[in-house]
Amino acid sequence: MEYQVTSNALAGRVILVTGAGAGIGRQAALSYAEKGATVILLGRTVKKLEAVYDEIDAMGAPQPAIIPLDMLGATRQHYMDMADTIEQQFGRLDGVLHNAGLLGVLSPFDQIDEKSHDDVMQVNVKATMLMTQALLPLLKKSDDARIVFTTSTVGHQGRAYWGSYAISKFATEGMMQVLADEMSDTKVRVNAINPGGTRTSMRASAFPGEDPQTLKTPLDIMPLYIYLMAPEGINEHGQCIDAQPKR
């Protein structure tokens, strides 16, 4: 991968990672900490977040923090309170990786279940928007802030049976583009990553017959995740970037 950064590229930076307890988010939290960032671990399963906390602690990286939050039920007020807590505890925020996501139920379009659709849209789109709104004032105070959304190949080319998940990822790409345009004259850089097929439990749910050993691991795709948070990635803005070559 061509995304090169220095070994301590994220030193002094405070970065929030959503869905930090498992899969790609877990690895991003570890990789950001390894590059010197103070990482705020947000997720719905405290045990998983604590395990990541312990791994970061054992690395000797800056002490992380945990925010237990279920994005399915969280309201605007939760995100406002969260922004206040981050400001009080760290005095700053330099990056947000919007990684948490729900796959929902894959089904023919005419069988999309309304409840499942609402849940997927709530976590993948609305909660992500509300969180971004609440954190923007803090991010704008940073000299060099980054917001990274997570999309999917089905977020720019629809595919049969991917229903609500694909619809939510199209919305995510739209949100990224709208926000990037609005942030053009600020110090906030906004982009989206398409991880591509990656060895996680979400991928296994979507492709149960696939051999996971044929897939890139979360660690394999980290160069782009680090680059978009590092000084080296400052010129990327409004882009949707693939973390690995198309399969």
Catalytic residues: 165
Task: Note whether 157 binds ligand NDP by CB under 6 A.
Answer: no
Among 64, 95, 104, 195, binds ligand NDP (CB under 6 A): 195
Q: What is the DSSP string of the chain?
A: ------TTTTTT-EEEEETTTSHHHHHHHHHHHHTT-EEEEEES-HHHHHHHHHHHHHHTPPP-EEEE--TTT--HHHHHHHHHHHHHHHS---EEE-----------GGG--HHHHHHHHIIIIIHHHHHHHHHHHHHHTSSSEEEEEE--GGGTS--TT-HHHHHHHHHHHHHHHHHHHHTTTSSEEEEEEE--SBSSHHHHHH-TTS-GGGSBPTGGGHHHHHHTTSGGGTT--S-EEESS---
> Is residue 106 involved in binding ligand NDP (CB under 6 A)?
no
51 near ligand NDP, rule: CB under 6 A: no
Among 48, 78, 146, 189, binds ligand NDP (CB under 6 A): 48
Nearer to ligand NDP, 144 or 242 (CB): 242
Is 197 a binding residue for ligand NDP by CB under 6 A? The answer is yes
Chain positions 207 to 246 lying near ligand NDP, rule: CB under 6 A, are none
Stretch that binds ligand NDP, among 8-16, 21-29, 78-86, 128-136 (CB under 6 A): 21-29
- Asked if residue 116 binds ligand NDP (CB under 6 A), the reply is no
- Closer Cβ to ligand NDP, 19 or 64, answer by number: 19
Provide the binding-site residues for ligand NDP, judged by CB under 6 A.
19, 21-25, 43-45, 48, 70-72, 99-102, 123, 150, 152, 195, 197-198, 200-203
